[in-house]
Amino acid sequence: MPLIASVSGIRGVFGDGLDPAALVRYASAFGAWLRGQAGRAPLVVVGRDGRVTGDVCARLITATLQSAGCDVVDGGLATTPSVAMGVLKHGADGAVILSASHNPAEWNALKLLDGNGEFLGPDEGAAVLALADGGVADQTVGYQDLGGYRTDDLLPYHIEKILDLPFVDADTIRRADFQVVVDGINSVGAFAIPAMLSALGVDDVEVLNGEVTGLFAHNPEPLPAHLSGITSRVAESGADLGIVVDPDADRLAFVEDGGRFFGEELTQVIAADFVLGKTPGPVGTNLSSSRALDDVAARHGQRVVRSKVGEIHVVRAMQEADAVIGGEGNGGVILPALHYGRDALVGVALVLQHLAETGRSLSEIRDSYPAYSIAKHKLPLTDDLDADALLAALASRYEGRVSTVDGVKVDLDEGWAHVRKSNTEPILRVYTEAGSPQAADALAERFKAELLAG
């Protein structure tokens, strides 16, 4: 299987495209690019999620970076946002995160961050890929310039900075006496989310899939079809809420009291609702996110700016608009006051603070939001399907009602449909939103049929 290189990183199936030679080639290129940017020996933070291949890959990456003349801080098992915070803590020049996010256990990936702890932009990523094409030998330093190596636990600093936020108060959350169930999906969220909860004063925490084995107990993408275990447990235990993350804990979803899935689409909505009540300003998100965000922002007298799908695209749009909160409809919360990256830990803190201050449950808050439903379908790309041609045909069919900023987004009276090539899988993503789950699914099926007919 070929590697997939995009703004979301360089990912593939370990042993089938993503092999030691590929890891060395890309890490060497990244180290050389950082060295050129810094004009000296750069400092690089490395962290990994709980995948079975993580340790092997991390040892290859750290040694390769040292061979490229980089000093390395090895964070070991760490969430993606903790690595980003590690860049800020150490004043590093960049970072490598080993995680394929929501992809199955056989996948792994290199996510590359710059000195601001942000994902590389398209131009920066292209420069690294060009260096990778030049070969490893061109980027290896002599013995006298080998980089150093040390380790650091990045989580305590990350949690400390969240607790330092002016609108997060652990005493208020402690008094609410929440009972919480966490699905750690056998990766770094299994220890990072409970540690965050403990720091916020939440003592009654039950962790499902808490062994960090990298052998995911269910499909790791935080979607309703994969989460029957935690929804059942929240209902059975009478917990106030459930917390769900993906393997690197940059995506966050909730389960309501009673066991109903709150929805990853609403994660950024409730976070924005809380933050806008404290700090007015624009909100940033992508084209595939729910209209509910626009409605909630309007309640606060604020506007929403939208970008292409991909964290760095949202971040750039947020920076241009000076947004105070943002994210993506996949459960990503981006709080610039902390750092410009999706962060499940800060999302947990913001939502618990909101619940504690309002005295309302998640189900009550959910019922106060507009009733939209999003369907997320996939259309596998086979050799006989030309994705660009399919998208062009779809755009021409809906001329006048379409945006082609990122794939094809069609706005309709009854909702919208957004079709684009995935950044992380060989598929077309077909996302739709309408007034009910049935209507959203029907809209997705309609657009898939139209794509194949085209």
Residue in the structure block whose two tokens are 């092999």:
19
Tell me, yes or no, if 101 is annotated catalytic.
yes
* Secondary structure element (H or E) that encloses residue 428, with its range: strand 427-434
Final residue before a domain boundary, out of 317, 347, 368: 368
Three-state SS at 389: helix
**CB–CB of 312/7 below 8 Å?**
yes
CA atoms within 13 Å, Cβ hemisphere of 281:
17
On whether residue 97 sits in a domain, the answer given is yes
Which of 99, 395, 247 lies closest to 112 in space, CA to CA?
99
> Taking 70 as the threshold, does the pLDDT of residue 140 lie above it?
yes
Phi then psi for residue 17, to 5 deg, are 115, -50
d(CA 275, CA 252): 17
Phi then psi for residue 393, to 5 deg, are -65, -40
Same domain for 305 and 402, yes or no, is no
Q: Torsion angle, CA of 196/304/433/221, rounded to 10 degrees?
A: -30
What's the gap between Cα 225 and its chain centre?
19
The pLDDT assigned to 137 comes to 64
The pLDDT assigned to 5 comes to 80
Write the CATH number for 128: 3.40.120.10
Same domain for 40 and 106, yes or no, is yes
**What is the pLDDT confidence band of residue 115, given thresholds at 50, 70 and 90?**
very high
pLDDT tens digit sequence for 404-422: 999 999 999 889 999 998 8
On whether residue 95 sits in a domain, the answer given is yes
Same domain for 206 and 327, yes or no, is yes
On whether residue 387 sits in a domain, the answer given is yes
Q: What is the edge-to-edge ordering of all strands in the sheet holding 204-208? A: 204-208, 179-183, 241-245, 252-256
The DSSP code sequence of 134-193 is: T-SGGGPPPGGG---EEE---HHHHHHHHHTSTT--HHHHHHH--EEEEE-TTSTHHHHH
Q: What is the pTM of this model?
A: 0.92
Residue in the structure block whose two tokens are 């997939």:
4
pLDDT, greater one: 383 or 160: 160
pLDDT tens digit sequence for 419-451: 998 877 788 999 999 999 999 999 999 999 999
**What is the pLDDT confidence band of residue 177, given thresholds at 50, 70 and 90?**
very high
> Which residues are within 8 A (CB) of 81 and not within 5 positions of it... i.e. 6 or more apart?
158, 249, 250, 339, 341, 342, 343, 344, 345, 346
Same domain for 190 and 324, yes or no, is yes
**CB–CB of 355/361 below 8 Å?**
yes
Same domain for 271 and 347, yes or no, is yes
pLDDT tens digit sequence for 257-306: 999 999 889 999 999 999 999 999 999 999 999 999 999 999 999 999 99
On whether residue 167 sits in a domain, the answer given is no
d(CA 413, CA 217): 40
d(CA 125, CA 122): 5
> Taking 90 as the threshold, does the pLDDT of residue 135 lie above it?
no
On whether residue 341 sits in a domain, the answer given is yes
What's the gap between Cα 276 and its chain centre?
22
Domain span at residue 404 reads 373-453
Catalytic entry in 8, 99, 101, 307: 101
The pLDDT assigned to 7 comes to 65
**What is the pLDDT confidence band of residue 385, given thresholds at 50, 70 and 90?**
confident
With pLDDT > 70 as the criterion, what percentage of the chain qualifies?
99
Same domain for 264 and 352, yes or no, is yes
d(CA 401, CA 64): 49
List the beta bridge partners of residue 112.
96
List the beta bridge partners of residue 256.
241
Q: How many CB atoms lie within 10 A of CB 371?
A: 9
d(CA 329, CA 350): 17
Which of 182, 191, 221 lies closest to 76 in space, CA to CA?
191
The pLDDT assigned to 360 comes to 98
On whether residue 161 sits in a domain, the answer given is no
**What is the pLDDT confidence band of residue 2, given thresholds at 50, 70 and 90?**
confident
Same domain for 386 and 404, yes or no, is yes
Three-state SS at 376: strand
Q: How many domains does the chain have?
A: 3
Same domain for 215 and 304, yes or no, is yes
pLDDT tens digit sequence for 330-339: 899 999 999 9
pLDDT tens digit sequence for 16-66: 999 999 999 999 999 999 999 999 999 999 999 999 999 999 999 999 999
Q: How many CB atoms lie within 10 A of CB 363?
A: 16
